[in-house]
Amino acid sequence: MPGRFWNNMSLEGYNQIVGVNLNGVVHCVHTVLPGMRTQRDGVIVILSSWAGREFLPIAGMAYSASKTGLSPLTESINFEEGRNGIRATLIMPGEVATPILMTRPVPPSEDALARMLQPADLASLIVYVATAPRHVCLGEILIGPTWNRIYIGAGDMRPDL
């Protein structure tokens, strides 16, 4: 969404972001839980964001709020469903070089994209989570690139309003 801040976000835009990022996850989990309960086994991997851990101005308030809501949602699955052999993991990546980054008000440079996490990095992590022994529950994983623009304070991470 181009409008990410209180002064330029519509309620329609806010509802769209929350509908995908939070409500979409709830709908998916609600759909798969009955089958997992029946088989007494299952792994749910929920992709959040570093912006779900702390407010990042570049992400905007709707994105951050919707991603923050995924942490207690994941914990509720582990609390309620662990006894049924079901475990959930919340993965909170920093910047991942995907095409959606090009929709930011100031898209990252090619050099910055090359230093970010790559989709294959997350794929490898998800495979590990999904294939971990049944007695292992990885509740939350925060993952970022070594050259982390959140830490170094990249200029476009703190946009002017």
Q: Cite the active site residues.
A: 63
Both tokens assigned to 112: 């910055």
Q: Which SS3 state, helix, strand or coil, does residue 139 take?
A: coil
Q: Which SS3 state, helix, strand or coil, does residue 117 take?
A: strand
User: Amino acid identity of 17?
Assistant: I
Q: In whole angstroms, give the CA distance from residue 82 to residue 86.
A: 5
> Torsions phi, psi of 158, nearest 5?
-125, 75
Q: In whole angstroms, give the CA distance from residue 99 to residue 91.
A: 19
DSSP labels for 91-137? Answer: EEES-B--GGGGGSSSPPPHHHHHHSB-HHHHHHHHHHHHHS-TT--
Q: In whole angstroms, give the CA distance from residue 27 to residue 91.
A: 18
